[in-house]
Amino acid sequence: MRRNILSMADLETSDIVSILDAAERERLPRVLEGKGAALIFEHPSARTRNAAEMAVFRLGGHPISIRGDEIGIDRRESAEDIALTLASYHSVIGARVTDHQTLVRMAEALEGAGSRVPVINLLSNVEHPSQALADLLTIRQHFGELKGRKVAFIGDANNVALSLAIGCALVGASFSLAAPKGFWFGEVALGTLRSSGGEFIQTEDVISVASGADVLYSDVWVSMGEEEEGASKRAAFSGFSIDDSLLEHAREDAIVMHCLPAHRGEEVSASVIDGPRSMIWLQARNRMFSLIGLISVLLEEDGSS
């Protein structure tokens, strides 16, 4: 497995299976015994910070969460110097960043210095792979297998959508996106998706995407860092919501997923997200287990256990 997990495309199908299996182990390996994990957050977080801290703790380690303004990436000092500093105390670096390139630069600086400390993307403007691992774990737990599942994403072709789409391609699930045309995946994302293989469509036709789906997934229309575009995006996405009438087009046993935080009455109705088909609390809980799986597999492969 690759050392740095900045994108779902850094994983192979067999890596995903290993991570999801490791997420479900009853006895956890103490791969972080006596070691630290630095967790950087340039954006707010409820789930990721707590899931990552508890994952590190359960693996025997000591997490230190760091707010972006404490270290001032590229203001107080460079991303490279911060990565090299943190790697001298910690065995894992996780980071939620405003600019995906910050992760790339941190990983390159560590590799260039011969460090074996992995960098994990805890959300960037491009991808959210630790979310996608939790989503795949949730779908696998609910349906028993991932292959052949039909995932319908109603909303922005954002970080969450791209990581989930790549993840679906890698595990043999289909992924369809329904969004206004101006908010579909761009050429770079499409290139990553095509090289991951798999079935994929994007369309403005919400009903065709929902029809026969096993999973109806939504995320906020306005992601962190996009606040200035908020009003225009909300207007453009009107109608691209999951509600009871859309749910009727999905399979009878379909589930509803959302990475959270949610805006009830915008991308999803309260009756759906708080209804019997909703998997949001299992999904949120699985953030911790999938991070346990990811970190333990990364460190076990490295022989540091």
Contacts to ligand CP by CB under 6 A: 45-48, 123, 131, 259-260
User: Closest approach of Cβ 4 to ligand CP, in Å?
Assistant: 19
Alpha helices in the chain (DSSP H): 13-23, 47-58, 68-71, 79-87, 100-112, 129-143, 159-171, 187-196, 206-210, 230-236, 244-247, 270-273, 280-301
Does 259 engage in binding with ligand NVA (CB under 6 A)? yes
Nearest of 75, 94, 199 to residue 148 by alpha carbon: 199
Residue nearest ligand NVA, CB atom distance: 223
- Whose Cβ is closer to ligand CP: residue 288's or residue 299's? 288
Q: Give the interface segment with ligand NVA, choosing from 83-91, 216-224, 273-281, 292-300 (CB under 6 A).
A: 216-224
What CA–CA distance (Å, rounded) separates 196 from 184? 18
What does the longest C-alpha to C-alpha distance in the chain come to?
A: 55
What CA–CA distance (Å, rounded) separates 128 from 252? 29
Contact characters 172-211, ligand NVA, x per CB under 6 A: ----------------------------------------
Number of CB atoms found within 10 A of residue 188's CB: 10
DSSP assignment of 129-188 equals: HHHHHHHHHHHHHHHS--TT-EEEEES---HHHHHHHHHHHHHT-EEEEE--GGGS--HH
Choose among ligand CP, ligand NVA, none what residue 90 binds, the Cβ cut-off being 5 to 8 Å by kind: none
Contact characters 5-44, ligand NVA, x per CB under 6 A: ----------------------------------------
The angle subtended at Cα 205 by Cα 202 and Cα 208, nearest 5°, is 90
Does 121 engage in binding with ligand NVA (CB under 6 A)? no
Choose among ligand CP, ligand NVA, none what residue 157 binds, the Cβ cut-off being 5 to 8 Å by kind: none
Contact characters 217-256, ligand NVA, x per CB under 6 A: --xx--xx--------------------------------
Bridge partners (DSSP) of residue 41 are 67, 96
DSSP 28: P
Choose among ligand NVA, ligand CP, none what residue 46 binds, the Cβ cut-off being 5 to 8 Å by kind: ligand CP
Q: Give the interface segment with ligand NVA, choosing from 88-96, 135-143, 157-165, 172-180 (CB under 6 A).
A: 157-165
Choose among ligand NVA, ligand CP, none what residue 4 binds, the Cβ cut-off being 5 to 8 Å by kind: none
Number of CB atoms found within 10 A of residue 301's CB: 15
What CA–CA distance (Å, rounded) separates 13 from 173? 12
Does 159 engage in binding with ligand NVA (CB under 6 A)? yes
User: Closest approach of Cβ 131 to ligand CP, in Å?
Assistant: 5
Residues that bind ligand NVA (CB under 6 A): 123, 158-160, 219-220, 223-224, 259
